[in-house]
Amino acid sequence: MTLPETSQMVAGRSRGARARGRAAIVARFLVVIVTTYLGLLAVTFFIGRVIPIDPVLAVLGDRAPAHVVERVREEMGLNLPLYQQFFRYLGDALQGNFGTSVLTTNPVMTDIRRVLPATFELATLGTLIGSLIGVPLGVLAAVKRGSLVDQAVRIVGLIGYSVPIFWLALLSLLLFYAQLRWVAFPGRIDVVYEYTFTPTTGLFLLDSLWQGQWDVFRDVFRHIILPASLLGYVSLAYISRMTRNFMLNELSQEYVVAARAKGLSETRIIWFHALRNAAVPLVTVIALSYASLLEGSVLTETVFAWPGIGLYITNSLQNADMNAVLGGTIVIGSIFIAINILSDILYRTLDPRTRAR
Amino acid sequence: MSPLLTVDDLRVSFPTRAGLVEAVRGVSFSLGRERLGIVGESGSGKSQTGRAIMGLTPPQARITAKTLSFDGIDLLEASPRERRELRGNRVAMILQDPKYSLNPVMTIGRQIVETLRTHRKISASEAKARAIAMLEAVQIRDAARVFDLHPHEVSGGMGQRAMIAMMLIAEPELLIADEPTSALDVTVQLEVLAILDRLVAERGMGLIFISHDLRLVSSFCDRVIVMYAGRIVEEIAAADLRNARHPYTQGLLSCMPEIGGDRHPLPVLDRKPEWAR
């Protein structure tokens, strides 16, 4: 009998092969990043050239004398051949130099450094709320499929993605700010603190905690909690729905029957075995929802006077401030790429089948 | 000596839109520390019989029986918790395809240890040592390495051995093997069966071997039950299978080709509705 040999038929590989596999993955990631980024830059460059806004006139106004216009055009490199303009644009963009905003007269990058943390803080808190509540709700809905709980989760979700967020935002402001006085007036922070509090990272919750300024922390929290809950609710609607589907799929798998045959408790089967498997696709869902919040939720930022990137880009767009718009677009695009890669890496760590292929 | 398992008039039915569908319709048998084969075609109720004994019937199904008892414990009266404590501990089940029945994101070792630590209060290191010993018992030579592998990293035969290790580590008294080799290559089937054979003999377990393969069952078991449409149509000692009286059993037997045999036309399995009555 050939038992000993066959028992060694493991699809295992040597350490060297594994390391090479990992290097190949990193290389592939890099190629993806570089090509996506180049594509992003090309598209923004192209948009910048075809829209009917003359960047020179945007800076000088339409009453500048012709020779000044000509000189500025030359300074901005707009009389160069298109491919040279593109390389120039590429070099600038890679250094984070997106020119000066006409509207604020600051370098665009300085503006973005100011507005991005506001959006980042809001989106992160929103996603945390959305996943920490959405995932358990989805699991419950799947486990108690067809029950009252399932229906309730369905309705909560339905409202979340069918009701316009600005309407919800206005209503909740009316209730929680105007009536109940539970939360603060729109904005990120009270005027009182605006001059006494100097943020270091721009994430006010963290900064105030770090500096031990409890009253500031409390104030910032009262400002952020309502918009973050609303964004959280909208992502919850999506996340709970997807969790339910993924869990239903996992709970019908044979390994769940095997886990029951082993005598495990339902709690362990659901929250450990099945959810751990459902977590693999869920990571992508949550990452995408997070990325979409990081784009800056214009409506929410408008209603809550939140000085984030969504509001910034919208304002720039309305004022034909192309440098700011394109710079903002590139930054958001970069964030998107980064989130995607992060979720890809997380996916690989969660699913052993995709590791080192 | 009272039997390990007593099944009397077991019925399993599923409510569907078209009304109640009876998957198992009055199955009775008893089992000591012996090997019982249950044979039948797909949908004959053989798997549902096994799952009813395990307590793994889907919640919407209805189970009734005059008696369904394991070692004096009335399984129908037992609380879900009591039944859970039996599962994996005193009654275990091996599923068909290790590709699907092992959790893909957990290492093989952790899945084996999990069974043991659910039922025994022992330290993590002792559980690991016993899991590795169990892997060796199912003839995995490089057990310490396989312990840390994920299910997708091993072959089907190896996966099924891990499954056997996972289900036998708590030393159950009754093992239900539901088509344990049907998903494996023929050459690997024999190896896995040999391992199962040895472990069942060594540990003196009762075994219910569910299969559609009559020849396999008759060579492996002491006694064979033939099921058709949710009922037992024949119960016979494996050695007497050649003398089976029921036409359905004879039909199953005559389906098997013989080397050198040349039959025209090929026999077709007879299905008479009155057998199901």
How many contacts does A have with B, using Cβ atoms within 8 A? 109
| A261 shares contact with chain B (CB less than 8 Å) | yes
| Residue A24, pLDDT above cutoff 80 | yes
pLDDT of residue A150: 96
Quick check: is A281 in a domain?
Answer: yes
User: If you average pLDDT over every residue of chain A, what do you get?
Assistant: 88
**How confident is the model over A313-322, as a mean pLDDT?**
88
CA-nearest residue to B176 within chain A is: A261
Q: What is the pTM of this model?
A: 0.86
Quick check: is A102 in a domain?
Answer: no
DSSP category for residue B273: G
Q: Work out the widest C-alpha separation in chain B, in whole angstroms.
A: 64
Interface residue of B105, B147, B154, B176 to substitute, partner A, most A CBs within 10 Å: B105
Confidence of residue A14 (pLDDT cuts 50, 70, 90): low
- The answer to whether B56 contacts A4, with C-beta atoms less than 8 Å apart, is no
- Per the structure, the count of domains in chain A is 2
Query: Are residues A284 and A184 both part of a single domain?
Result: yes
| Residue A112, pLDDT above cutoff 90 | yes
pLDDT of residue B100: 94
Quick check: is A44 in a domain?
Answer: yes
Quick check: is A328 in a domain?
Answer: no
| Residue A50, pLDDT above cutoff 50 | yes
Query: Are residues A184 and A246 both part of a single domain?
Result: yes
Query: Are residues A281 and A139 both part of a single domain?
Result: yes
Residue A218 belongs to domain with CATH number: 1.10.3720.10
Task: For residues B2 and B69, give the distance between their C-alpha atoms in angstroms, rounded to a whole number.
Answer: 11
| Residue A16, pLDDT above cutoff 80 | no
Confidence of residue A194 (pLDDT cuts 50, 70, 90): confident
* Prediction ipTM score: 0.91
pLDDT of residue A356: 56
Q: List the alpha helices (DSSP H) in chain B.
A: 46-54, 80-86, 98-101, 108-119, 124-137, 143-147, 156-168, 186-203, 214-220, 247-254
Task: For residues B87 and A162, give the distance between their C-alpha atoms in angstroms, rounded to a whole number.
Answer: 46
Query: Are residues A272 and A171 both part of a single domain?
Result: yes
Query: Are residues A90 and A118 both part of a single domain?
Result: no
pLDDT of residue A261: 96
Nearest C-alpha neighbor of B56 from the set A258, A272, A255: A258
Q: CB under 8 Å to B169, separation ≥6 — which residues?
A: B112, B115, B116, B130, B131, B134
pLDDT of residue A23: 85
| Parent domain of A61 | 16-94
pLDDT of residue A8: 41
pLDDT of residue A7: 38
Quick check: is A187 in a domain?
Answer: yes
Q: Which residue, of A65, A94, A123, is where some domain finishes?
A: A94
Quick check: is A11 in a domain?
Answer: no
- The answer to whether B155 contacts A276, with C-beta atoms less than 8 Å apart, is no
**How confident is the model over A208-216, as a mean pLDDT?**
89
Query: Are residues A149 and A88 both part of a single domain?
Result: no
| A148 shares contact with chain B (CB less than 8 Å) | no
Q: Which residue, of A94, A124, A148, is where some domain finishes?
A: A94
Q: CB under 8 Å to B24, separation ≥6 — which residues?
A: B10, B11, B12, B13, B45, B48, B49, B52, B230
Query: Are residues A34 and A148 both part of a single domain?
Result: no
Task: For residues A260 and B88, give the distance between their C-alpha atoms in angstroms, rounded to a whole number.
Answer: 8
- The answer to whether A12 contacts B88, with C-beta atoms less than 8 Å apart, is no
Q: CB under 8 Å to A46, separation ≥6 — which residues?
A: none
DSSP category for residue B153: G
Query: Are residues A207 and A75 both part of a single domain?
Result: no
Task: For residues A147 and A242, give the distance between their C-alpha atoms in angstroms, rounded to a whole number.
Answer: 18
Task: For residues B15 and B207, give the distance between their C-alpha atoms in angstroms, rounded to a whole number.
Answer: 30
| A14 shares contact with chain B (CB less than 8 Å) | no
By the 8 A CB rule, do A314 and A298 touch? yes
**How confident is the model over A252-262, as a mean pLDDT?**
96
**Chain A nearest CA to B196, separation (Å):** 14
- The answer to whether A263 contacts B88, with C-beta atoms less than 8 Å apart, is yes
| A3 shares contact with chain B (CB less than 8 Å) | yes
Query: Are residues A83 and A142 both part of a single domain?
Result: no
Q: Which residue, of A94, A129, A158, is where some domain finishes?
A: A94
Query: Are residues A71 and A121 both part of a single domain?
Result: no
Quick check: is A317 in a domain?
Answer: no
Q: CB under 8 Å to A110, separation ≥6 — which residues?
A: none
pLDDT of residue A10: 42
Q: Which two tokens stand for residue A281?
A: 């696709």
Query: Are residues A179 and A298 both part of a single domain?
Result: yes
Give the Cβ contact number of residue A196 at 10 Å.
Answer: 9
Query: Are residues A180 and A282 both part of a single domain?
Result: yes
Quick check: is A99 in a domain?
Answer: no
Taking 70 as the pLDDT cut, the residues of chain B under it are 1, 277
Q: Please tell me which of the candidates B119, B139, B153 has its beta carbon nearest to residue A263.
A: B119
Query: Which domains, and CATH codes, for chain B?
Result: 5-90+174-276 (3.40.50.300), 100-171 (no CATH)
Q: How do residues B220-273 score in pLDDT, each as one tens digit?
A: 899 999 999 999 999 999 888 878 888 888 877 777 777 777 777 777 777 777
pLDDT of residue A2: 40
Q: How do residues A169-188 score in pLDDT, each as one tens digit?
A: 999 999 999 999 998 888 89
Task: For residues A263 and B186, give the distance between their C-alpha atoms in angstroms, rounded to a whole number.
Answer: 31
| A81 shares contact with chain B (CB less than 8 Å) | no
Strands B174-178 and B91-94: parallel
